[in-house]
Structure 1
Amino acid sequence: MPADAPPHPLIAQARDQLNRGQVEAALAAARKRLAADGDDVDALEILVLVCQQRGEVLEAKRLLERILILAPDLDWPRDDLAILLAGLGRKAEAEAVVRDALARNPANPQACALLGTLLTERRDLPGGEAAFKQALDLVGDHPPTQVALAANLIEQGRLEAAEPLLARADRLAPGDGLTLAHWSRLREALGDLAASRTLLDRAAAAGFDVTLRRAVQLGREQRHAEALAVIETVPGRKGGDALLESGRLKERLGRPAEAFADFVEGKARLAARDGLTYDGAAVAREFETLGRLVETLGPPPLAARREGAQPVFVFGFPRSGTTMVEQVLTSHSAIAAGGELPFVNEMVTALESRFGGLQALWTPGVAEALRDLYLERAAAFGLRGPGKPLFTDKMPLSEVWTPVIRAAFPEARQVRMVRHPLDTAVSMLSHNLTHGDSCGYRITDIAHHMQAVHALTGRYARTLGETALTLRYEDLVADQETWTRRLLAHLDLAFEPACLRFHENRRYAPTPSYAQVSEPLNDRSIGRWRLYHQALEPQARALAKVIAELGYTD
């Protein structure tokens, strides 16, 4: 049938019935058409739409795949298939479908926007940014895509670039709750709490649920009892994020037993919602393989330095102080902020997909290829331009891949951030973090992963030597200037007083620590675990060796 030919009367009838909510009648009309022509793509589309309405995702997937066989040049089946796969949690498959769609038609704006969403979700933020911008170049003003791009830029810490997009989207589609909620979050991050409240009020007036955001903002204002009262107004069964916020507020109000219960239940609900589990046995097997490989083969061949800006690797568990140290470092005139960069994981993926596995690291030339991959990605992020000779890479737990990092960047400086393991564990339990193979959703899994990482990095140090500067959070708090000077000396940098005033750094750190690092250094969170000492007794026993070897006495 020619592309501009009118649809079959049965198809026109079915579409009209679907528009009027007559699903069964539309389905009957489409099936009647398929009885006469089993390859009618329009009729199959009706079936897809019905399946989507009914939540029959696997049947919808089968139908979309059939349509693509019949009409491989159509855009919409690939777009719908990618959305369906993403909804099933099969993000890698969804991305492959989207990339295929764009290879066939680079001017497909929905595929560009979908790619932007998928890349943003897997923390390739500049890649997501570029895809969203391509979609907007194709269609012009489109508020949902402008808001998605703004959210991506907020995650990059680029608040000034994000705000005009939100303002534009609000002018084009006034009163959209999602737009206003993102804008409120942005103004809060900038410390403009009055504007943030006004935007939340507008979002609420538009029918958008702002309960959790309002509670978070009241907490920022130290109005903890009011914030908890807002959380308690959530009807029905609270979501995991609301329970975590409730727990943090109860802790500040002196109710630690209730707080811990909220943390445990909130994390359980988030894990169930997102289908996240921690496989401790698999982690143990992987770490044993890594440790044995390094012990057997010794140090891998080292890549030569390539000129241009170089990474500074900040190691450590989430919530161990890595964000604070990055703020200290990036207050120096020689260091740009990279944040949680995905490049180390991409080097590891390249080892598996291009070179046949981690053992290829000991093949001459592989380290150089990984170095170049990393630096090319850094250039795409804007981190390799003229100006600052260093940039930070603080992806939590990247120390697991120390042999890869050391091979690709033998001259790069490394900083290992350490905090009392029980303080780190409590902080991880009270925030929604997926790092570390999703270990952060149960306190027992957090402790297991801490033991495993500590043992693995110890094996690395015995074989490869230790080149990282280990910096304890508590030592930095106790003697900020001495340790700041040591930190900068480790990087061969002259001391700059601005590094002591890191809280004045205007950079927004897009992590749960964003509020803390906007304050002067303080000791409020040191010893937090003692509030929960009874609940943490099993973890204290399990981590006793780690605690002692890190230099803590209790």
Structure 2
Amino acid sequence: MNNFPIADQITIPDALNRAYAHWNAGQAAEAEHLAMQVLHVIPSQPDALHLLGLMAHAYGKSALAIDYLRRACLLPDVPARYCSNMAEICRQMGLLEEAERAARRAVEREPQLTAGWNNLGIILQECGKLDDSLECLQRVSSFEPDNPEAHNNLGNTYKLLGQLNEAKASYQQALSLHPNYAEAHSNLAFLLCELGQFDEAAVAAQTAIDLNPHLADAYLNLAEIDLSRLRYGDALQRLNALMAFAPQHPGGLAALAQVMLKTERPQDALVYAQQSVRMAPDNPRAHNTLGRALQALNQHKQALESFDTAATLPGTSVEESMTARALLLLEMGDKKAAIEAFDLTQVQFPESIRVAMARTDTKTYRHDDPDISLMESALVRSVKPTLNDQMGLHFALGKAYLDLADSGRAFYHLDKGNAIKRSVVTYDANKTGQWLRSIGATFTPALMNTFRHAGAASERPVFIVGMPRSGTTLIEQILASHADIFGAGELSALRFAVDGSGNFPQNMSGWKADDFARAGRDYLSRVDSLAPNALRVVDKMPANFLYAGLIPLILSDARIIHCRRDPVDTCLSCYSKLFAGEQLFTYEQSELGTFHRDYQALMENLRQVLPADRFIEVDYESVVDDLETQARRLIAFVGLPWDEACLDFHKTRRVVRTASVSQVRQPIYTTSKGRWHCHAANLGPLLAALGIDPSGATNTSTNP
């Protein structure tokens, strides 16, 4: 039957032509009416189904759109563009496998269909099939060399392949053809960020926003640039601007979760990450972000499930998901499972530098370790890794060559890695030193005596303070092995309690007794729920040494353990680590040594005024030389009966998130004592800043 059973008896082809004409003219109701009339006569008519699918998609009815397009594409002789359109809509819905099948069918039916190859290339890109994607998109750019979108899409695949120079050239070609192409400016911004060219990246991202104020990716890229420069407040501002017009954007919600994690607000991060997953349940990056939020909240089983889910979804995040899972297992203390997870990831991604970098703490390197040659090769190949990956590779290789006692090669890489990190952070050693001196001058004997009983009363808090890498994690692990002690890890609760009261230490001058008590109650409110039944809760944030003078005034019964270690060993260990947190003073030897001296001077001031019954100092070297004596001393200091489990601290199963994650899983060893001497030739700036002679003689006036 070719005619409608209506008065004017128009033919089905005429009805379809009119329907498409109405749609193109913006007359949706008329177009839908005619298309539905056609389906009433021929229920499987592909042209009508295709039009209804496009209309449903335009009005945000994605599921209905896919249903129409699936039915339209059932016939073997359906036009290729119908399959291509179906592929693109499936891609937008996250149905990547179905999208790929439809796109391949389109180009098989019509090999010269440029739009079909373009859609297939983008789909393969999102599936992580990057070599195939590159082939498709190169074909598109050869078909249409003056098409800026073709070059932009090609640049995206080059970037994912790590071919950053080619990606940059493609974006620039797109912009030469279309200078006001907002998406290309945005993509170039992301690429420049990965190359460490943050100022240029910010300009490109802002240009994209100026051209298209509703381009979500440009806001995300600008936020990523701010995160790379540790400007968390600026990143939050960018994301809030995005949320103002796209409050349910999955990428925006995931990015907000990442900012919350960076600013140590894991509960807020969890809320945003859960929203992101709800909005995009098939998006692996949303599940990865959820996994990290759950990890930060110690919900490890659920975090593993999120990483597992992410790894099963198509896309370019599989390697990231599997590596994150392995690192979580290592953090949880299951080293065997972590190694197996790293090995499984490497089987799937045999050239993965991400795996090689991530598993450095699981091994002591040997000369024939294949990871060394893999990482070295990545640094010298013509296609350079991203700036972050270059930095990570240098730190990983520095660790490898330290294991191999090859000091020259180790410091070649450590100097390179630290220089890259130092180039992207803002740090002023002079201002920091002035601040530390102002803290020391604030906590006078008069202040301590006046307010010594003002604080909130609780014997539960135990603070472990000191320089990073000074043995704080070891001391916490010993204490946390006691049945009545909970090791809470590195908490920011004290800093938050202090920050809420104004600038520190200037604000101390105006405080009354109630202010000190209020800050103490604030701290307790943040930690009391962590382990309600524990008699002691250990907060081992090393940087709390900054607040050591304040602690007895806000928490009258709290205890403070100051960890000390040989200054050069401490600084060498800092210099050899790429910290997850913001240890901004560690990335240049002179600045590191200067900071250590300023820290020592502060602690010398504070030890004169801290209450003797609430403050002790423990030397790392004494612990490794005589574990039992020092462990018994620690348990006695916190006011609890002895527990033999403290001597088997390495067997205690608990989460450890610090850079010492592997060391505290081992029995006591002494190989780190005096380690710096064999590297003295490479530590000149550090030794000079510390006032230490390379032969080992020290300037005692700066090393109390």
TM-score (norm 2): 0.64
Partner of 1:49: 183
Seen in structure 2, the aligned counterparts of structure 1 residues 456 and 66 have a Cα distance that, compared at 3 Å, is farther
Q: Give 1:419 deviation, angstroms.
A: 0.8
- Shifted more, 400-409 versus 303-312: the winner is 303-312
Q: Give 1:402 deviation, angstroms.
A: 2.0
User: Which residue of the other structure, out of 223, 228, 236, is the alignment partner of 2:372?
Assistant: 228
Alignment length (residue pairs) = 511
Structure-1 separation of matches of 2:471 and 2:436 = 24
Seen in structure 2, the aligned counterparts of structure 1 residues 480 and 49 have a Cα distance that, compared at 3 Å, is same
User: Which residue of the other structure, out of 334, 337, 345, is the alignment partner of 1:200?
Assistant: 345
Partner of 2:413: 262
User: Which residue of the other structure, out of 471, 482, 491, is the alignment partner of 2:618?
Assistant: 471
- Corresponding letter in the other structure for 1:345: R
Structure-1 separation of matches of 2:666 and 2:404 = 21
Partner of 1:461: 607
- Corresponding letter in the other structure for 2:412: A
SS at match of 1:182: helix
- Corresponding letter in the other structure for 1:391: V
Q: Is 1:91 equivalent to 2:232 in the alignment?
A: yes
Contact 1:125/1:152, CA 8 A, preserved across alignment: yes
Q: Give 1:85 deviation, angstroms.
A: 4.4
Partner of 2:36: none
Seen in structure 2, the aligned counterparts of structure 1 residues 415 and 65 have a Cα distance that, compared at 3 Å, is farther
Matches within 5 A, 1:159-198: 159-173=300-314, 176-189=318-331, 190-191=334-335, 192=337, 195-198=340-343
Matches within 5 A, 1:190-339: 190-191=334-335, 192=337, 195-204=340-349, 209-210=353-354, 212-213=356-357, 216=360, 220=363, 222-226=365-369, 227-236=371-380, 239-272=390-423, 275-295=424-444, 298-299=447-448, 301=451, 306=456, 310-339=460-489
Q: Deviations over 1:33-56 (max 9, x none)?
A: xxxxxxxxxxxxx86434313436
Structure-2 separation of matches of 1:395 and 1:230 = 35
Partner of 2:545: 399
Seen in structure 2, the aligned counterparts of structure 1 residues 448 and 66 have a Cα distance that, compared at 3 Å, is same
User: Which residue of the other structure, out of 340, 343, 366, is the alignment partner of 2:493?
Assistant: 343
Q: Deviations over 1:214-255 (max 9, x none)?
A: 7627x6165453143333232426822222222222222232
SS at match of 1:492: coil
Structure-1 separation of matches of 2:245 and 2:535 = 40
SS at match of 2:413: helix
Please, which runs of 5 or more residues in structure 1 have no aligned partner? 28-45
- Corresponding letter in the other structure for 1:262: H
Seen in structure 2, the aligned counterparts of structure 1 residues 410 and 6 have a Cα distance that, compared at 3 Å, is farther
Please, which runs of 5 or more residues in structure 2 have no aligned partner? 1-24, 28-57, 59-113, 120-139, 142-146, 153-179, 190-200
Q: Deviations over 1:464-498 (max 9, x none)?
A: 55542100011111111111111011110111111
SS at match of 1:524: coil
Structure-2 separation of matches of 1:296 and 1:391 = 28
- Corresponding letter in the other structure for 1:448: T
Structure-1 separation of matches of 2:185 and 2:302 = 40
Q: Deviations over 1:350-400 (max 9, x none)?
A: 2326x9942356334222332233233335xx41x5211322211122111
- Corresponding letter in the other structure for 1:148: T
Contact 1:184/1:199, CA 8 A, preserved across alignment: no
Seen in structure 2, the aligned counterparts of structure 1 residues 305 and 369 have a Cα distance that, compared at 3 Å, is closer
Structure-1 separation of matches of 2:26 and 2:232 = 36
Contact 1:157/1:510, CA 8 A, preserved across alignment: no
Seen in structure 2, the aligned counterparts of structure 1 residues 270 and 539 have a Cα distance that, compared at 3 Å, is closer
Partner of 2:576: 430
- Shifted more, 302-311 versus 286-295: the winner is 302-311
User: Which residue of the other structure, out of 474, 488, 508, is the alignment partner of 2:655?
Assistant: 508
Structure-1 separation of matches of 2:641 and 2:245 = 53
Structure-1 separation of matches of 2:258 and 2:242 = 15
- Corresponding letter in the other structure for 1:136: V
SS at match of 2:488: coil
Q: Give 1:63 deviation, angstroms.
A: 6.9
Structure-2 separation of matches of 1:366 and 1:530 = 48
Q: Deviations over 1:79-110 (max 9, x none)?
A: 67645644665321222454677799976654
Seen in structure 2, the aligned counterparts of structure 1 residues 228 and 356 have a Cα distance that, compared at 3 Å, is closer
Contact 2:323/2:358, CA 8 A, preserved across alignment: no
Contact 1:303/1:371, CA 8 A, preserved across alignment: no
- Corresponding letter in the other structure for 1:376: S
- Corresponding letter in the other structure for 1:220: K
Q: Is 1:389 equivalent to 2:535 in the alignment?
A: yes
Q: Is 1:358 equivalent to 2:507 in the alignment?
A: yes
Contact 2:365/2:400, CA 8 A, preserved across alignment: no
Structure-2 separation of matches of 1:177 and 1:289 = 47
SS at match of 1:186: helix
Structure-2 separation of matches of 1:104 and 1:266 = 40
Identity among equivalent positions (%) equals: 22
Q: Give 1:404 deviation, angstroms.
A: 2.9
Contact 1:150/1:165, CA 8 A, preserved across alignment: yes
Seen in structure 2, the aligned counterparts of structure 1 residues 547 and 470 have a Cα distance that, compared at 3 Å, is farther
Bigger CA radius of gyration: 2
Contact 1:244/1:431, CA 8 A, preserved across alignment: yes
Which structure is richer in relative contact order (CA contacts within 8 A, separation 6 or more)? Answer: 1
Structure-1 separation of matches of 2:379 and 2:683 = 31
Structure-1 separation of matches of 2:209 and 2:665 = 49
| Two-structure CA RMSD over aligned residues (Å) | 3.9
Q: Deviations over 1:401-451 (max 9, x none)?
A: 223323221211111111111111111111113768611112211111111
Seen in structure 2, the aligned counterparts of structure 1 residues 147 and 427 have a Cα distance that, compared at 3 Å, is same
Structure-1 separation of matches of 2:630 and 2:581 = 27
Partner of 1:131: 272
TM-score (norm 1): 0.79
User: Which residue of the other structure, out of 445, 448, 465, is the alignment partner of 2:591?
Assistant: 445
SS at match of 1:397: helix
Structure-1 separation of matches of 2:686 and 2:505 = 38
Structure-1 separation of matches of 2:299 and 2:702 = 36
Seen in structure 2, the aligned counterparts of structure 1 residues 302 and 104 have a Cα distance that, compared at 3 Å, is farther
- Shifted more, 529-538 versus 334-343: the winner is 529-538
Q: Give 1:532 deviation, angstroms.
A: 1.5
